[in-house]
Amino acid sequence: NQQNLKFMRKITFFAALFISILFAACQNSDLELAQVENLTNGEQVTPLRETFDFTYKGESYSSPFYMENDTLMILEDEKVAAVYDRIQELPELATYVAPNGDIEYYDSYEELEINKQSKGLKNKNAISRSFGYSYEIYIYEHADYNTQRQGRKVLLNSPVAIPHLKAYAMDDMISSFTAGARNLIYSARGGITFFRNPDYKAQSITFTINGIISEESGYRYYCKVRNFHDYKVKKGINWNDRISSIKTFE
């Protein structure tokens, strides 16, 4: 009985060791596994690859990519990767996210404004200016609109120009936001821009406010970003908790 007990302990130990090694290998693997589905003899399983597409200086770029350590995107097209890496180092890089999710890059917010023929709110001394109610902006301290964690939520009535979010105790604290209104159909084209530094400086990211994307209990949403972690400021840095000023335009 004692010999059987020792033998069973050895089996249990080696089984646990094998599982732990296998788990560690999966955790550290950079491969993206394709689904095995109705493979015939001779067919091979190939890693899934997605493409990253963006526009810069009026030219479109596209490259297959894979994720390294679940955080770093590696572009496989060397020419596209060189352009992308150079763009990410621009000190005033302006990222424009179109309604369909397409991404456009500009050297600065001023260049984005000229290209989109938009009129930004220029009064940098104003904490908030309103020229007639159009839609509501909610900024949240945590991702998923604070539904997973309790945190600060601030309501802003557009249009707004906020040169420093310290006035709202939300400097470098925004993780998600929504734009919408109850019983109001917003028909104008516009957007909301988040800046990394106070006074609308440094890098920026702009989201389009254009038409209803969803409706819940009479509340119409024109734009929702569940996690700023999904968007990059520059290489190795995302937008989560890195916003210091906000401006809207129509």
pTM of the model: 0.75
* Mean pLDDT lowest among 87-96, 125-134, 179-188: 125-134
**pLDDT of 66:** 87
Question: Is residue 6 predicted with pLDDT exceeding 50?
Answer: no
**pLDDT of 70:** 67
**pLDDT of 141:** 98
* Mean pLDDT lowest among 26-30, 126-130, 240-244: 26-30
d(CA 177, CA 154): 10
Bond into 159 cis (ω within 30): yes
**pLDDT of 34:** 29
Question: What average pLDDT score do residues 122-148 get?
Answer: 74
| CB contact at 8 A, 203 and 196 | yes
* Mean pLDDT lowest among 127-141, 157-171, 179-193, 222-236: 127-141
d(CA 96, CA 103): 6
pLDDT band at 122 (very low <50, low <70, confident <90, very high): low
In Å, how far from its chain's centre is CA 194? 12
**pLDDT of 120:** 61
> Taking all residues of the chain, what is their mean pLDDT, rounded to a whole number?
79
The residue that leads in pLDDT, 48 or 52, is 52
**pLDDT of 106:** 97
**pLDDT of 119:** 59
Q: What are residue 228's DSSP bridge partners?
A: none
Is residue 17 left, alpha or beta, with left meaning phi > 0 and alpha meaning psi from -120 to 50?
alpha
